[in-house]
Amino acid sequence: MRIDVLALFPEVFEPFLASSIVGRAVEGGIVSVGCVNIRDFAHDKHRSVDDRPFGGGPGMVLMCGPVFEALERVEAQREGEPVRILLTPQGERLTQSVVAELAGQPWLVILCGHYEGFDERIRTGINVREISVGDYVLSGGEPAAVVLIDAVVRLLPGALGDEGSAASDSFAEGMLEYPQYTRPRAFRGMKVPDVLLSGDHGKIASWRQEQAVKRTLERRPDLTDEAGSSRQGKT
C-alpha cells in the first residue's frame, strides 16, 4: 500500500512512522508513506497557506491554491487514482469497517487541515471522502491521520507478527475483545480465571465468546445493535 499525507506539520509523522507495528511495516515494505508539507506550495515569500474568512469571523481558513497544487504534485508521481481522504470533524465517523475498507485500497492520499477549517472549494472541488476520528475537535488533522494510518496499517497482510491478532481485536466482529491475562497466575490476590489454565481449548473459546458478549452488552450495547442491523443488510 502507498499512503501520501499532505500536512502543515509533516514532522509529526516521523517518530510515528519509525516506531512499533507501523515502523516495522514501513521497514518491511508492506506500506510506504510520503509526507508533503502544504506550505511548500505557498505562493508568497511569507509561505502563507491560510487567510481570513470572507464575510468576517474569527480564525483563519486554509486556502485552495497550495492544497490543490500539493495534491496534483503528489498524484502526478504515480499511476492510477488514489482514495482521497479529508480529515475533518464534519466527516463520517472512522469505524473498524471503514478502516477495513481503506486497508483494501492500494493508494490513500490523506489531507490534514489546520486553523478554523478549509476553504469549502477544497471539499467540493476535489473528490474526497471526509472522515472524522471522533466527536471532538483537534487542532489539526495530523493526530487524526496518525490514528487512521495506524488502524489501517495493522490490517495489512504481514503487518502483525501474529496473523490471528487483528481478527480477535475489539470491533473486528462487531464486539469488544474478551479479557486477557498473562503470568503470574496470581497477582496481589487477583487470580487468573481457572478456565484459562485448564488446557481445554473448547471451554476457553466459549468462555472468551461469553465474556466478549457480556462486555459488549455492558459497555457498548450500540455495537450489538449495529452488528445486528448490518447482518440484516440495513447497516
Consecutive H or E run containing 201: helix 201-219
Q: Is 116 a catalytic residue?
A: yes
Q: Is 89 a catalytic residue?
A: yes
Among candidate residues 10, 50, 84, 154, the one labeled active-site is 154
Of 33-41, 53-61, 62-70, 129-137, the segment contacting ligand ADE by CB under 6 A is 129-137
Of 63-71, 126-134, 184-192, 202-210, the segment contacting ligand ADE by CB under 6 A is 126-134
Q: Is 144 an interacting residue with respect to ligand ADE (CB under 6 A)? A: yes
Q: Is 216 an interacting residue with respect to ligand ADE (CB under 6 A)? A: no
Q: Is 141 an interacting residue with respect to ligand ADE (CB under 6 A)? A: yes
Q: Is 210 a catalytic residue?
A: no
Of 48-56, 72-80, 86-94, 175-183, the segment contacting ligand ADE by CB under 6 A is 86-94
> Residue 12 or residue 144: which is nearer to ligand ADE going by CB?
144
Place of cell 469488544: 176
What are the Cα distances from residue 9, in Å, to 21, 140, 178, 190?
22, 9, 38, 45
Of 26-34, 133-141, 154-162, 185-193, the segment contacting ligand ADE by CB under 6 A is 133-141
Query: Alpha-carbon distance 197 to 186, whole Å?
Result: 12
Helix (H, G, I), strand (E, B) or coil at 199: coil
CB of 95 to ligand ADE, least distance (A): 13
CB of 112 to ligand ADE, least distance (A): 7
Among candidate residues 130, 169, 173, 226, the one labeled active-site is 169
Q: Is 221 a catalytic residue?
A: no
Q: Which of residues 22-81 bind ligand ADE (CB under 6 A)?
A: none
Q: Is 89 an interacting residue with respect to ligand ADE (CB under 6 A)? A: yes
CB 83 within 8 A of CB 102: yes
What are the Cα distances from residue 199, in Å, to 165, 185, 193, 205?
20, 14, 12, 11
User: What is the strand order of the sheet 32-37 is part of?
Assistant: 32-37, 2-7, 107-112, 83-93, 129-132
Residue in 100, 103, 95, 122 with CA at minimum distance from that of residue 111: 122
What's the chain's length in residues? 235
Among candidate residues 69, 75, 116, 150, the one labeled active-site is 116
Helix (H, G, I), strand (E, B) or coil at 93: strand
Among candidate residues 75, 78, 89, 220, the one labeled active-site is 89
> Residue 24 or residue 123: which is nearer to ligand ADE going by CB?
123
CB 180 within 8 A of CB 191: no
CB 58 within 8 A of CB 64: no
Q: How many of the chain's residues bind ligand ADE (CB under 6 A)?
A: 11
DSSP notation for 159-174: SSSSTHHHHHSTTTTS
User: Which residues in this chain contact ligand ADE in the complex, by CB under 6 A?
Assistant: 87-89, 132-134, 136-138, 141, 144
Residues with a catalytic annotation lie at: 89, 116, 154, 169
